[in-house]
Structure formats: C-alpha cells, structure tokens
Amino acid sequence: MPLILDSPSGSESSFEPRKSGPQEERRRIHHTGDVVIVGAGVLGSALAKGFGDQGRSVILLEKSLKEPDRIVGELLQPGGVQALQELGMEDCVEDIDAIRVKGMSVQFYDEIIQIPYPAAKPITQSRSNSRKEDSPSKPQGRSFHHGRFVAKLRAAAMRHPNVTVFETEATSVITCDDSNQVLGVQAITRKTQQDYFFADLTIICDGYASKFRKSYTHHTPKVKSKFWGMELKDCRLPFPEHGFVSLADRPPVLLYQIATHDTRVLVDIPDNAPTASVAAGGVKNHLRSVICPTLPSEIRPSFLAALEAPGALRSMPNSFLPPTTNRTPGLALLGDALNMRHPLTGGGMTVALNDVVLLTTLLHPSQVPDLADTKLVLKQFKTFHWRRKNLTSVINILAQALYSLFAANKPELKYLQRGCFRYFQLGGACIEEPAGLLGGIIRRPIVLVYHFFAVALLSIWVLYKEGGLLWFPWSFVMGLRVFWEAVVVIGPYILAEMKS
C-alpha cells in the first residue's frame, strides 16, 4: 500500500471531516479519480482544493511531503492574495508570521524611491461598497517562508474530503496503446514500490525542473543568471513592509522581509560573471567586495553577518519559459512546468494561483460535466491559453523586460535603466500604473507596453537634455540606438506571448 496521509501532520484531527464513501475508496484502493495532479507545490495544492470544491474526485501526488525549505516563492503579490481569496484559501497566509507588503522601493545608486501599490478599483470596489468604509482599499501582498505557506496549502488539500494525497514520485505517463490519450501516471513509492494512478485528466505541475515537460512543449527553459540567496537577521530595510530592489553598476539585488526577524536577500549573478569566478574568489567574495558596498549602509551589517553563517548561501536558476497551449488529450502542464519568467518581480505564484482560478472556472462541472469529454476539455484549454494572458503576459513581459534594464550590461540599457528610475520619480500614473502591473492588479498588457515605451522616450529626452545643443548630433544617434534597444528588449517577449 502506498503511504496515504489523509491528515496533515501536527494539525488538530477534530478539524478533519471523515473521509469515506465510494469515491474515496476508488481513490485510496483503486487509485482512480477524476483528476490526477502531479506535484503538491503552490499550484498543485491549490488546484486540488479548487477541483475538490467542485465535487471532482482528486488524487494529488507529491514526492516529498516534508515542509519545503527553498529560497523561492516568498513574496506573493496582491494579485495572488486576491486569487487565494477567490479560492477560499486566504487563511493559508495566516499564522505563518507573514509580513504585509504594501509596495516596492527602488534604490538607484544614491537615490531611493517608494513605489506603493495603487488602490485597486476593480478588485476592492464591491467589497468596500458592501462593508466598512474605513477599511483601506489599498491591496496588499504577503511575504513569508515558502515552506510554511506550501505546508498550509497542502494541509488545505489534505483535509478536503474529495482529495486524497499520496506521497509518491511520478515517473512516467501512462498512455493508451493506440492513441496518445493519457490515462494517468506511473509512480514509485518509498523508492521501491511501483504504483499506477488513473484519471480522466492528468495535470503535471512538478515545478521548474519538470521532467515531464519535454514531451509536451517544444520550448526549453532559458537560463542566463542565478539568484543567490541568504537569510538576514533583523535587517532594517529603507521602507518597512515594502520589497526593495537595489540598482547600481551591477545586476539587481532584491530584498524583502519574510518573517518578524528574517529578511531574504537575492543577488542576481549572470552566468560567467568574472567577479564571481573561482579565480576571483568565488561567489562569497563577489558578495562581500562587489555587492555589499553598493547596498544601503543599514543593510550591510546583517548582510556581512549572514555571509559568515555556514551553509547560508544557496542558489536557484532564473529561467524563462514561454507558455504553450495544452494539446494532449487527457494531460496538461501547469505552473512552472508550463511557464516561467525571471523572479525579479515575484510573479510566479501570482500566475500559478490565478491559473487555478481561471482553469477551475473553465472546467467547472457546469461547463464540462465530464472530464472524459476530451474534445471539450481541449477546447477549454485553448480558451485558457488565451484568457490567462491578460494577467500572465503582463507579469511575464514585465519581469523579463525589467530584468534586461536592471541588469543593464551596455550603454543603451543603462540609459533605459536611468530613464526608468526618472520615470518613477515623475509620480502619479508613472508610478501607480507600473506598481499595479507588478502587483498583478492591472491586467491589461497594453498598459505595460504604453509605460515601457514612455520610459524609452523619457530616457532619450534625459539624454538630449544632458548633452545640450553641442552634443546633439551624438545624443541624436544614441537616442535612436536607445529606442532600438527598447524594441529589441521587449519585442521578443511580446512575440512569445502571441504564439499559441
């Protein structure tokens, strides 16, 4: 028998409904359900709960139910918190010592600017109309230890009467002999026992290093840099309850508080960065001598202290993977297995949770009574591919374009980077709308394209003003090059979003 954990370890058992009935037995004994979900991460756990609420019989497979200990998925944008609410899972950010996030702040050499999330009319209107006027209508994000959040999501799935969780590692997909229809997955439990799980629909959400995706998407993840992470103790950030991005003559550094005493720092280091090479003293030395001096003075002591802690330094690849339409009968990729963007803007979980909201809407039993109706399911996945873009293309393009500017490695990009900061300094819509895009609150790709080119034009204007009349011929040529660079930066990412 596979290990079945119907109860989250450590939680009060009185809280749990009894799991029994024919569906439960089909899952537990016969390993058959309506849906098999591979991976109980951010996406899989929320999706299991979402499908379960609709009365679907859900099997959720996870290779390790231990609380994850990772440097990813720690800042949830307001657009992700909103998705949690829509799924009835907002309690998953409670009791985990999560920190409220009211916006970002950006350091550009010696200057610092605050970028608060704007009040979100479309999101909070109905709520604030109906009840207390005094509640602030500014949306908030949350930051936390990733493992604590995932443990909460998993617990919500585990205590659901329509979900059965198995601790097992999926190894391959089971297909029909004479068609490519997927019937379920094969898995290995406790490293020894072969198991088989069957369902009308198999959802693969096994994360960034997905071993299943290559058969179902022609894209492969592109990695140009890594984030190196450390946990700082009692670090003071320039603006409390705001994420912090530090820009200087090196790739960006990101900081945000994840618990009362803990602050995450993520330092972007491009592959083959000379100052982080072994010959130059490695990453540790790079952090000490190249990065630390460029950070605000109040951050430096805890940064240096963290560097000394043994095993403090951990890294993750920063990947880009454009999405594709799921076309396989009986199977779909979701989450990081389907689509990734640079984590600079902390958008991954917001994409994942909103995908759960959209997909459960499109596959609701009122739309798709039977998930075995593969034709209808595939039609809904096509709709899903295009409809998710209102939000996801904004987050994907913004993350990639902003990273190009913030990691500026040539003059044209450096002018765009400066222009971007000057643009924020203009205030008003120049700060509110970009913050709304970043937070997953404004879900209109055209708004992103507008602001991006406004930044490009401002960068060129600053260049002209600085050069004056005497330098105008040079500034004019440089201006054209800056504009062209802007097109080259954003163009490919827009095109990637337009593909099916």
Ligand X SMILES: *[C@@H]1O[C@H](CO)[C@@H](O)[C@H](O)[C@H]1NC(C)=O
Ligand Y SMILES: Cc1cc2nc3c(=O)[nH]c(=O)nc-3n(C[C@H](O)[C@H](O)[C@H](O)COP(=O)(O)OP(=O)(O)OC[C@H]3O[C@@H](n4cnc5c(N)ncnc54)[C@H](O)[C@@H]3O)c2cc1C
Considering the complex, state which of residue 6 and residue 241 has its C-beta at the smaller distance from ligand X: 6
Q: What is the smallest separation between the CB atom of 330 and ligand Y, expressed in angstroms?
A: 18
Q: In 10 A of CB 233, how many CB atoms?
A: 12
62, 262, 268, 412: residue in contact with ligand Y (rule CB under 6 A): 62
Looking only at residues 342 through 361 of this chain, which bind ligand Y when binding is defined by CB under 6 A? 343, 346-350, 352
Looking only at residues 228 through 267 of this chain, which bind ligand Y when binding is defined by CB under 6 A? 266
When asked if residue 34 is in the footprint of ligand Y (CB under 6 A), the reply is no
Considering the complex, state which of residue 328 and residue 475 has its C-beta at the smaller distance from ligand Y: 328
Q: What is the smallest separation between the CB atom of 483 and ligand Y, expressed in angstroms?
A: 32
352, interface contact from ligand X, ligand Y, none, CB < 5-8 Å by kind: ligand Y
Q: What is the smallest separation between the CB atom of 469 and ligand Y, expressed in angstroms?
A: 46
From residue 304, alpha-carbon distances to 233, 237, 238, 315, 458 in Å are 11, 15, 18, 17, 37
Q: What is the smallest separation between the CB atom of 363 and ligand X, expressed in angstroms?
A: 15
Using Cβ positions, the residue closest to ligand Y within the complex turns out to be 41
Considering the complex, state which of residue 22 and residue 468 has its C-beta at the smaller distance from ligand X: 22
Looking only at residues 119 through 178 of this chain, which bind ligand Y when binding is defined by CB under 6 A? 169-170
Binding site for ligand X (CB under 6 A): 23, 52-53, 55, 161-162
37, 40, 89, 448: residue in contact with ligand Y (rule CB under 6 A): 40
Considering the complex, state which of residue 56 and residue 226 has its C-beta at the smaller distance from ligand X: 56
Considering the complex, state which of residue 53 and residue 67 has its C-beta at the smaller distance from ligand Y: 67
Strands of the sheet containing 314-320, edge to edge, are 111-116, 103-108, 243-248, 250-257, 262-270, 222-233, 314-320
Q: What is the smallest separation between the CB atom of 70 and ligand Y, expressed in angstroms?
A: 8
Which residues in this chain contact ligand Y in the complex, by CB under 6 A? 38-44, 61-64, 71-76, 169-170, 205-207, 227, 266, 316, 318, 335-336, 343, 346-350, 352
